């Protein structure tokens, strides 16, 4: 693509030469078609070729940018799925995958080519101008040097502002998604006005950072246009007074009308590559800020999961306080309890008291503000492989019932699947759903969805079992049927469940009341 940029520069020079000689021929003493044929042909050819090269260059640059971004996204996704990125930072990983990588498009599609042309073409054009008029080339150099110095200063300022803008935008995105996910909890604690204020403050910061970047962009454009207009005006004055013979001093060069027109036609093109670079400069600053964030994710130390637990473990919560990382005023806890190996602990409390949040701490998805959580006396690490998790709304995949059950254990054979179906009363689903289930679970009752989740947990055969409101929204009959299926699931496991149901809590060895 750099070669296409150089060819575009050659077309610009060819256009200026052809136009200058065509105009010189028209206003010369002897005008003939022979004198105008070659300059006219060069002018038209250069103009058409430049347009074609510009379109091809943009298309190739965009294709290259999309390939690079796709490769980066696949690399990050592979690291995420391979467990090489901190599993507790899901939202940060998504931002890096979609927002930060998308910020690289402008750099690869526009800035790289503009930067190459801005470094090479102005010097090439000045050299060509020097062949026709060394004085005009010197004038351009004199205006170019202070312009480059001022652009360097503005560039340093713009880099910092672009980084702060991207950081503010990322904070706003994370904050908004986090609050939407926790909306029921926020409403339960009547914390809506405070959270609206928090989000509004983050949005205001993004607006302020964006305005700061735009101010620098406007100043950069003003500086560029000033020096571009100044250089063209000075060259026009010099050439005009020279041709009129009115220069107040002698110059060591002979300037013809064709040479003067060539210099004037080429002078604006000296600043044109830098004008395109200035337009794409914000893309480069945004890409640099995004790259720093991407590299920060890449260089995070790979987390080493704890060894898979082989027996029911002791789980101890000591003075645990949960909350939002960016909202110091919002807290749940403190909560303390100990689940001995093989015991069943029930977390009971009103909606919004933090039952689900406490469970998710073991999955590495909560924010621990204070206190400790230990497994068999050791600090909590990544034990996801040792946990069977049943949420309030178990997800349904597009596929057969067997496909949905094997999500928990890909190695489960047909005999194990049949036992799971029989143990958790899924015969009716198996018989009625010989075809494919859709991802919405259309036609499944709430009890059937819960039983699918329980069957998955049974197939996973993990020593720790977490259940989040397994009987919520079920009628009395469906609740009784589901509770009757739980003892086979609890056997040989340490169980922590959350529930409002007195019947379900009656199965527990210990009930922890939350307020």
| Residue 454 buriedness (CB in 10 A; 0-12 / 13-18 / 19+) | buried
CB atoms closer than 10 angstroms to residue 53 = 19
CB 166 within 8 A of CB 107: no
Pick the closest to residue 186 from 200, 173, 176 (CA basis): 176
Beta bridge partners of 320: 335
Q: Based on the fold, state whether residues 266 and 331 are members of the same structural domain.
A: no
Q: Based on the fold, state whether residues 403 and 487 are members of the same structural domain.
A: yes
Give, for all 515 residues of the chain, the pLDDT tens digit: 678 878 888 898 889 888 888 887 777 555 556 567 888 899 899 989 988 988 888 888 888 888 888 887 777 666 655 545 554 444 455 555 566 777 788 888 888 888 888 888 888 899 999 998 999 989 888 888 887 777 777 666 766 777 777 778 777 877 776 777 677 667 766 777 888 888 888 888 888 888 887 787 778 778 778 888 888 899 899 988 988 888 888 888 888 888 889 998 888 888 888 778 777 766 776 777 677 667 766 444 444 555 677 788 899 999 988 876 656 666 787 889 999 999 999 988 877 777 888 888 887 776 788 888 888 888 877 777 788 888 877 777 767 778 778 877 877 888 888 888 888 877 777 655 555 666 666 667 777 888 888 888 888 878 898 988 888 777 788 788 888 888 888 888 899 998 888 888 888 999 988 87
Global confidence as pTM: 0.48
Does residue 383 belong to any structural domain of this protein?
yes
Q: List the structure tokens of 120.
A: 């090479």
Cα distance between the two ends of the chain:
65
What is the CATH number for 202? Answer: 1.20.1560.10
Rg of the chain over Cα atoms, rounded to whole angstroms, equals 35
**Rounded Cα distance, 265 and 509, in Å:** 90
Does residue 504 belong to any structural domain of this protein?
yes
Q: Give me the pLDDT at residue 494, please.
A: 92
Q: Based on the fold, state whether residues 121 and 155 are members of the same structural domain.
A: yes
Does residue 309 belong to any structural domain of this protein?
no
**Domain limits at 126?**
2-296
**Rounded Cα distance, 317 and 130, in Å:** 79
Beta bridge partners of 494: 464
CB atoms closer than 10 angstroms to residue 7 = 16
Number of domains in the chain: 2
Q: Which of residues 296, 328, 349 is at a domain's end?
A: 296
Q: Give me the pLDDT at residue 91, please.
A: 47
Q: Based on the fold, state whether residues 322 and 218 are members of the same structural domain.
A: no
Q: Based on the fold, state whether residues 291 and 398 are members of the same structural domain.
A: no
**Secondary structure in 3-state letters for 232-287:** HHHHHHHHHHHHHCCCCCCCCCCCCHHHHHHHHHHHHHHHHHHHHHHHHHHHHHHH
Q: Based on the fold, state whether residues 329 and 268 are members of the same structural domain.
A: no
Q: Give me the pLDDT at residue 49, please.
A: 92
CB 122 within 8 A of CB 271: yes
β-pairing, 464-468 vs 494-498, is: parallel
What's the CA angle centered on 21, arms 18 and 23, to 5 degrees?
A: 105
Beta bridge partners of 332: 322
Q: Based on the fold, state whether residues 332 and 289 are members of the same structural domain.
A: no
Q: Where are the alpha helices (DSSP H) in 82-191?
A: 90-95, 101-102, 105-106, 112-132, 134-181, 183-188
Q: Give me the pLDDT at residue 485, please.
A: 80
Cβ-count burial 124-149 (b if 16+ within 10 Å, e if not): bbbebbbebbebbbebbbebbeebee
State the sign of the Cα–Cα–Cα–Cα dihedral 228, 231, 234, 240. Answer: negative
Does residue 168 belong to any structural domain of this protein?
yes
Q: List the structure tokens of 489.
A: 């699931």
Q: Based on the fold, state whether residues 257 and 395 are members of the same structural domain.
A: no
Does residue 304 belong to any structural domain of this protein?
no
**Rounded Cα distance, 233 and 251, in Å:** 19
Q: Based on the fold, state whether residues 194 and 45 are members of the same structural domain.
A: yes
Does residue 305 belong to any structural domain of this protein?
no
Q: Based on the fold, state whether residues 38 and 185 are members of the same structural domain.
A: yes
Q: Give me the pLDDT at residue 327, please.
A: 61
Count how many Cα atoms sit within 13 Å of the Cα of residue 308 in the half-sphere of its side chain: 9
CB atoms closer than 10 angstroms to residue 331 = 15
| Residue 329 buriedness (CB in 10 A; 0-12 / 13-18 / 19+) | exposed
Beta bridge partners of 315: 339, 375
Phi-psi region of 443 (alpha: psi -120 to 50; beta: other; left: phi over 0): left
Does residue 303 belong to any structural domain of this protein?
no
- DSSP state, residue 328: E
Prior bond of 334 cis (ω within 30°): yes
Q: Based on the fold, state whether residues 260 and 325 are members of the same structural domain.
A: no
Quickly tell me which residue has 């997800």 as its tokens: 395
- DSSP state, residue 69: H
Q: Give me the pLDDT at residue 63, please.
A: 87
What is the CATH number for 486? Answer: 3.40.50.300
- DSSP state, residue 307: P
Q: Based on the fold, state whether residues 239 and 332 are members of the same structural domain.
A: no
Does residue 129 belong to any structural domain of this protein?
yes
């Amino acid at each position: 693509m750099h070669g296409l940029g150089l060819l575009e520069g050659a077309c610009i020079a060819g256009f200026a030469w052809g136009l200058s000689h065509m105009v010189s021929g028209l206003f010369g003493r002897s005008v003939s078609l022979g004198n105008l044929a070659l300059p006219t042909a060069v002018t038209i050819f250069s103009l058409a070729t430049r347009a074609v090269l510009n379109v091809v260059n943009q298309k190739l640059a965009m294709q290259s940018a999309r390939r690079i971004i796709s490769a980066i996204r696949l690399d990050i996704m592979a690291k995420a799925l391979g467990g090489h990125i901190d599993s507790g930072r899901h939202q940060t990983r998504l931002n890096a995958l979609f927002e930060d990588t998308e910020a690289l498009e402008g750099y690869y599609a526009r800035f790289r080519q503009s930067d190459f042309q801005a470094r090479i073409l102005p010097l090439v054009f000045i050299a060509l101008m020097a062949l026709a008029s060394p004085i005009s080339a010197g004038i351009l150099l004199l205006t170019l040097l202070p312009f480059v110095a001022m652009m360097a200063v503005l560039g340093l300022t713009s880099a910092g502002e672009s980084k702060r803008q991207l950081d503010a935008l990322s904070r706003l995105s994370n904050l908004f998604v986090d609050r939407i996910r926790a909306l029921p909890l926020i409403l339960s604690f009547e914390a809506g006005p405070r959270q609206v204020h928090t989000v509004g403050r983050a949005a205001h910061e993004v607006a302020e950072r964006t305005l700061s970047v735009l101010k620098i962009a406007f100043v950069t454009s003003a500086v560029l246009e000033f020096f571009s207009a100044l250089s063209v005006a000075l060259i026009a004055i010099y050439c005009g007074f020279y041709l009129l013979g009115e220069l107040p001093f002698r110059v060591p060069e002979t300037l013809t009308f064709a040479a003067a027109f060539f210099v004037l036609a080429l002078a604006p093109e000296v600043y044109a590559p830098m004008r395109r670079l200035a337009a794409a400069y914000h893309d480069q600053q945004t890409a640099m800020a995004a790259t720093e964030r991407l590299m920060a994710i890449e260089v995070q130390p790979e987390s080493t999961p704890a060894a898979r637990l082989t027996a029911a473990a002791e789980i101890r919560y000591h003075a645990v306080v949960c909350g939002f990382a960016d909202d110091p005023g919002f807290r749940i806890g403190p909560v303390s309890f100990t689940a001995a190996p093989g015991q069943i602990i029930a977390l009971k409390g009103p909606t919004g008291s933090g039952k689900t949040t406490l469970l998710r701490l073991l999955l590495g998805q909560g924010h621990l503000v204070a206190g400790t959580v230990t497994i068999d006396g050791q600090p909590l690490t990544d034990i996801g492989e040792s946990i069977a998790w049943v949420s309030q709304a178990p997800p349904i995949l597009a596929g057969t019932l067997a496909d949905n059950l094997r999500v928990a254990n890909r190695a489960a054979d047909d005999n194990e699947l049949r036992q799971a179906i029989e143990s958790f009363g899924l015969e009716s689903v198996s018989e009625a759903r010989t075809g494919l289930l859709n991802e919405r679970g259309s036609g499944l009752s709430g009890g059937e969805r819960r039983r699918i989740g329980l069957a998955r947990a049974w197939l996973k055969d993990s020593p720790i079992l977490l259940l989040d409101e397994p009987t919520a929204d079920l009628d009395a009959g469906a609740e009784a049927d589901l509770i009757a299926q739980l003892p086979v699931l609890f056997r040989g496991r340490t169980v922590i469940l959350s529930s409002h149901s007195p019947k379900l809590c009656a199965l527990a060895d210990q009930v922890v009341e939350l307020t």
